[in-house]
C-alpha cells in the first residue's frame, strides 16, 4: 500500500519539506516552522494534529504592558462581575495579577489563573447580598422583624427578631435552617434532670452520695450489704446491671459438699484458696474416681467444664491413639489391645497403593520391590526384592509373626471383626 506524500503540506505552523526516514513507528518528515526552526516529525502526529509547532509556541514572546510580560492579554475582558482594566504591578502568591473593576464600583487585584479559569465572581460583594428576605417570617417562637444594620464578627448578615414573650434577639439566617434558636432564651433548653438517688437501695447497694462524674456519666457512691463501698453509674443502678460490689458473683448459690460432677466428688470448700484468688467464686477440694485430689472452681463444676482430675482426657486421647499404654487402660478395650488398634492391623489397602499388595511398594531409587510393616506408628523394613512375590511372602510372614498374636488376643477377649455393611443393589 503506497503511503501519502506530505511534501509541501502545512500543518499548523509546520511546512513539510521532504521525507526524512522510514522506521517501524512510521515515516518521519523534515519540517520547517514559521519561526525558521527545522524539526523532524512523524507523519501520524502531523495528520492527527498532535504536533503543530517546533515548540516555539511555548517560548514565544509574551505580551508586554508597562515593562511586565504576560502570556495572555486579558485587558477589557469581563469575568462575571469583574472587568479587567490592566496588568497590576502587584503580584499575588508570585503570580501575575490584574487590576479589575467590580460592578459595585470597587477595584480589586485578581490573579491571572482565577480570571482564566473563572474561579472568582466579584470583589466579594456578592457574598453580602441577601439571598432571601426573612422579614415577617416566623421560626418557632421567633418572628423576624428586619435586617440588622450590624454584622457578626464573621461579617455575616444578621436579623432582628422578636419572641412571643416580647423579648428580642439578633441572629444570623443559617441558624434558623439548623433549627435554633427557638426562643430568645426565655425557655431554657431541655436538659435531662438529674435524679437524686441518695438513700435509695438497689438490690444489695445503698446509695450514700454523689460521686465525681466520669466524662458525662453520673455516678454514685454506694455501700454494699457486705460492708464494701463502691462507685456505680446511675444507669447501671436503675437498670439493674449492677447489683452488688462484686460479692454476689463470688457467693455460693448452693452447698456442693458431697455432690458428684462427672468423676469428681466434692469434699469441702477451700477458704484459703478463695481468699488468695478473689473474684473467682467458691473453690472446692474434690477427689477423682481414680483416687487423685483436685481443686476446682465451683462454676466450672456446675457448668460441666471440668469432670475429672485429667484422667478422663487421657483416656479419650488414648482412645484416639495419641497416648499408648496408660496404667488405667491396660487390658483389653474394644478394638484395642495393649494400646494397639486392631482395626489398623486388619484394614485393607490404602487408595494410593500401586503394587496391589498391602505393605509392598516399588523403590525407584534401588529398582526393587520393598516390603515393610508398621506397628506402634513405627515402620519396619523387611528387605528389597527383585521379584514382587518374594516381597509379598516376606510381608505375610511378618504379619503372622507380629499381627496374628495381637488379633488372637483381641478375639479371645471377646472382640470381633468388623465387616463392611453391604450396600443394597440398585434396580
| Domain boundary assignment for the chain | 10-58, 63-127, 130-177, 201-246, 252-316, 334-412
- Contact, 287 vs 293, CB < 8 A? yes
Span 121-150, average pLDDT = 81
pLDDT for residue 326 is more than 50: no
**pLDDT tens digit string along 53-112?**
887 765 554 566 566 666 677 888 898 889 999 888 887 776 778 899 998 888 889 988
pLDDT of residue 192: 45
* Radius of gyration in angstroms for the set of CA atoms belonging to the chain, rounded to a whole number: 49
Closest C-alpha to 127, from 145, 106, 99: 106
The model's confidence at residue 2, banded by pLDDT at 50, 70 and 90, is very low
**To the nearest whole percent, how much of the chain has pLDDT over 90?**
16
**pLDDT tens digit string along 172-199?**
887 877 777 888 887 754 444 578 899 9
pLDDT of residue 222: 93
Determine the topology of domain 334-412 in CATH.
GCC-box Binding Domain (3.30.730)
pLDDT for residue 350 is more than 60: yes
pLDDT for residue 416 is more than 60: no
- Count of C-beta atoms within a 10 Å radius of residue 297: 19
**Mean pLDDT computed over every residue of the chain:** 79
pLDDT of residue 188: 57
**pLDDT tens digit string along 3-54?**
678 889 988 889 999 888 887 668 888 999 888 888 888 888 888 888 888 8
pLDDT of residue 250: 60
pLDDT of residue 206: 93
Span 335-362, average pLDDT = 79
Amino acid at each position: 500500500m503506497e503511503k501519502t506524500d506530505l511534501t509541501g503540506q502545512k500543518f499548523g505552523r509546520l511546512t513539510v519539506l521532504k521525507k526524512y526516514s522510514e522506521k517501524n513507528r512510521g515515516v518521519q518528515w523534515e519540517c520547517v516552522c514559521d519561526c525558521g526552526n527545522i524539526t523532524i516529525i512523524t507523519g501520524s502526529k502531523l495528520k492527527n494534529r498532535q504536533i503543530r509547532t517546533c515548540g516555539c509556541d511555548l517560548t514565544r514572546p509574551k505580551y508586554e504592558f508597562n515593562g511586565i510580560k504576560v502570556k495572555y492579554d486579558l485587558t477589557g475582558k469581563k469575568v462575571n462581575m469583574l472587568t479587567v482594566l490592566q496588568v497590576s504591578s502587584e503580584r499575588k502568591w508570585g503570580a501575575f495579577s490584574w487590576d479589575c473593576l467590580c460592578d459595585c464600583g470597587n477595584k480589586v487585584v485578581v490573579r491571572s489563573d482565577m480570571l482564566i479559569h473563572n474561579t472568582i465572581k466579584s470583589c466579594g460583594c456578592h457574598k453580602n447580598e441577601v439571598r432571601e428576605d426573612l422579614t415577617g417570617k416566623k421560626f418557632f417562637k421567633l418572628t423576624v422583624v428586619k435586617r440588622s444594620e450590624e454584622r457578626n464578627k464573621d461579617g455575616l448578615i444578621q436579623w432582628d427578631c422578636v419572641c412571643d414573650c416580647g423579648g428580642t434577639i439578633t441572629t444570623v439566617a443559617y441558624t434558623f435552617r439548623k433549627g435554633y434558636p427557638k426562643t430568645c432564651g426565655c425557655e431554657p433548653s431541655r436538659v435531662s434532670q438529674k435524679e437524686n438517688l441518695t438513700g435509695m437501695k438497689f438490690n444489695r447497694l445503698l446509695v450514700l452520695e454523689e460521686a465525681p462524674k466520669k466524662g458525662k456519666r453520673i455516678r454514685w457512691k454506694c455501700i454494699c450489704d457486705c460492708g464494701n463501698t463502691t462507685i456505680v453509674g446511675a444507669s447501671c443502678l436503675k437498670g439493674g446491671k449492677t447489683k452488688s460490689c462484686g460479692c454476689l458473683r463470688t457467693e455460693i448459690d448452693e452447698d456442693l459438699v458431697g455432690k458428684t460432677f462427672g468423676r469428681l466428688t466434692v469434699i469441702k470448700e477451700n477458704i484459703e484458696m478463695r481468699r488468695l484468688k478473689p473474684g473467682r467464686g467458691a473453690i472446692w477440694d474434690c477427689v477423682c474416681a481414680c483416687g487423685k485430689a483436685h481443686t476446682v472452681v465451683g462454676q466450672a463444676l456446675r457448668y460441666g467444664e471440668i469432670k475429672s482430675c485429667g484422667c478422663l482426657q487421657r483416656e479419650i486421647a488414648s482412645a484416639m491413639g495419641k497416648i499408648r499404654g496408660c496404667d488405667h487402660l491396660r487390658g483389653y478395650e474394644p478394638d484395642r489391645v495393649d494400646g494397639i488398634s486392631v482395626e489398623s492391623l486388619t484394614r485393607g489397602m490404602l487408595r494410593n497403593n500401586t503394587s496391589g499388595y498391602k505393605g509392598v511398594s516399588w523403590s525407584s531409587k534401588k529398582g526393587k520391590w520393598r516390603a515393610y510393616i508398621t506397628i506402634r506408628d513405627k515402620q519396619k523394613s523387611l528387605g528389597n526384592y527383585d521379584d514382587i512375590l518374594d516381597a509379598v511372602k516376606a510381608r505375610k510372614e511378618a504379619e503372622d509373626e507380629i499381627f496374628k498374636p495381637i488379633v488372637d488376643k483381641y478375639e479371645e477377649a471377646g472382640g470381633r471383626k468388623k465387616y463392611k455393611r453391604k450396600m443394597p443393589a440398585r434396580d
